[in-house]
Amino acid sequence: MSYIFDNLIPNEQVLYRTRLHWKIFVPAVLLLLLCLPVIVVAIDGGLNPYLSLSLLVVPLVAVLSAYLTWLFSEFGVTDKRVLIKTGIVGRHTLETLLTKVENIGVEQSLWGRLFGYGTIYVTGTGSTKETFPGINAPLEFRKQIEAAAVAFEERRPSARALS
């Protein structure tokens, strides 16, 4: 199971989930594509094929590392909280009640806008600012947090009693 589903409180429902953008794989795949012609030339030049293929170790480790980073990073919005977890061995988590989120900022470069990724800044009460780069569809993530916060406020008994 995922971190988000493992850490739900009673009667909490997941409204939206996302992961890191696929751009995390680009450097590793480019490294792999650069190594392939070198290996072909080395084998054609008479170098031991096994020694030549050992050049694939570094790009394959880079691809595996990118995959594990992607797999172990989760971003979610529930009807009560925002949950974010990054990291494989060392873990960075953010679990903030919707009522404690003061600001959600999104930063996107030109490439981020074209390919749909960006950096999310979550500011909680007490001016705690957390930064999460490389998230897929950051504007949608912000929109889901805002919609969940509005829905939560509308469900609160004190909000209904005042209106």
- Inside any domain, residue 13: yes
Task: CATH number of the domain at 103, please.
Answer: 2.30.29.30
Answer whether residue 144 shows pLDDT above 70: yes
For the chain, the first-to-last Cα distance in angstroms comes to: 41
Q: Same structural domain for residues 44 and 107?
A: no
Distance set, CA 56 to CA 13, 39, 42, 49, 139 (Å):
44, 8, 13, 12, 37
% of the chain residues with pLDDT over 90: 60
The pairing of beta strand 92-97 with beta strand 81-86? antiparallel
- Domain span at residue 152 reads 8-21+75-162
d(CA 60, CA 82): 34
Kindly state whether residue 139 falls inside one of the protein's structural domains: yes
- Return the structure tokens found at 125: 């009460």
Judge if 14 and 30 occupy the same domain. no
| Degrees, nearest 5: CA angle 87-90-94 | 60
User: Same structural domain for residues 88 and 115?
Assistant: yes
Query: Residues 49, 110: one domain?
Result: no
Which are the contacts of 161, defined by CB distance < 8 A and separation ≥ 6?
none
55 lies in some domain: yes
- Quote the DSSP letter at residue 126: T
Helix (H) or strand (E) holding 51: helix 49-53
Q: How many other C-beta atoms can be found within 10 angstroms of the C-beta atom of residue 85?
A: 19
**Together in a domain, 81 and 145:** yes
Answer whether residue 163 shows pLDDT above 90.
no
What does pTM read for this prediction?
0.83
Please check whether residue 36 lies inside any domain of the structure.
Answer: yes
pLDDT of residue 157: 75
Instruction: Say yes or no: 92 and 155 in one domain.
Output: yes
User: 129 with 107, same domain?
Assistant: yes
- Same domain? For 93 and 155 the reply is yes
Same domain, 100 and 151: yes
Is residue 3, in this structure, part of any structural domain at all?
A: no
Q: Which residues contact 65 (CB under 8 A, 6 or more apart)?
A: 28
Count of structural domains within the chain: 2
Least confident of 33-47, 62-76, 109-123, 148-162: 148-162
Residues 44 and 104 in one domain: no
Report, in angstroms and rounded to the nearest whole number, the Rg of the chain calculated over CA atoms: 21
